[in-house]
Amino acid sequence: MKRKLWKFYTRLLLFYCFMTAFTKGDNARYYYWSFDEGEFNGIGETPAISGEDASNEIQLSSSDIVSGKSLNFSTNYYIDLTTRRDECLLSPDLCVNGHTYCLWVKTLQNTSGWHYYFTNGGNIEDSKGVSFYHFNGDLVIKLSDGSFYYFLYHSIDFNKFWNHYCWTWNTSSPIELFINGTSATKSTSKQSKNVSTSKTFPLRFGANCEYSHPSIYNHYYASSLFDEFWFWEVQKSKEFVLNAFQLTLEFINQGMLIQSSVMLFIINNPPHKQ
């Protein structure tokens, strides 16, 4: 009995250290959504569920996961969270210290075309925000702060395993994409915007915003599973992103984060220890 209690308290302490490692240091605002109950803590609004296969509830998976449950976009639906534009999460122009996004993704289809993970109009001419999606064989990040578009394309093999995607950005430094804790590419590509940012789109998980291109009027769904979303209102370091990824793997292996039928691409390719 004592041994079980000791193991429980040890794991509790380790989990506290795990969470502290993600949130300490710079006092930046952050969001963490585990999706275990379909929650979006901190938004303060009730998610709106829409799409061809929409139901009354957010669809979760308890079998194909990184931890707990995953957000299941295997069918054609999407979730609108908020149109609020008073903070960095939705408005890159308010990210005075940059930003960092991280999300576990398992792509279910390797088909051509657009598959949007989340967006609130970062790729739309007369809007501002962020867009994260894949198009054919490229992973795409597009940001707009109202004055410039910033964009990154990275060719990738969508292997139907869980992969950990992060990107960091600041107006004075490039977008940097990390895949499974390792820097994959950087992009300084940007172009000026000479139009007003008159349109406001909701933060949407699972599909694109309407009219995301002059010739696009359809929804392009994620066809993916999501887990463990993190956002920080600051540009995190390479070391932070690597450590965050390694800590997640460590706690999965130790049983701190519930692991079911998770298939981690990195299991047979352990990250380099620094």
- Per residue in 121-176, pLDDT tens? 888 877 889 999 999 889 999 999 888 989 999 998 877 889 999 999 999 999 99
pLDDT tens-digit map of 86-128: 889 989 999 999 999 999 999 987 767 889 999 998 888 778 8
More confident residue, 57 or 110: 57
Quote the pTM value. Answer: 0.85
Mean pLDDT, all residues of the chain: 82
CA angle, 207 then 89 then 41, to 5°: 80
Res 252: pLDDT: 72
How far is C-alpha 81 from the chain's CA centre?
14
Instruction: Please compute the mean of the pLDDT values over residues 55-70 and round it to a whole number.
Output: 90
**What pLDDT does 263 receive?**
35
CATH T-level assignment (fold) for domain 26-268:
Jelly Rolls (2.60.120)
Which amino acid is present at 90? L
Per-residue pLDDT, 3: 54
Per residue in 194-239, pLDDT tens?
A: 766 677 788 999 999 875 455 556 788 999 999 999 999 999 999 9
- Which position has the higher pLDDT, 258 or 182? 182
| Vertex 54: Cα angle to 48 and 59 (nearest 5) | 85
Dihedral angle, C-alpha 11, 17, 21, 26, nearest 10 °: 150
What is the domain partition of the chain in residue ranges?
A: 26-268
CB atoms within 10 A of CB 48: 13
pLDDT recorded at residue 111:
67
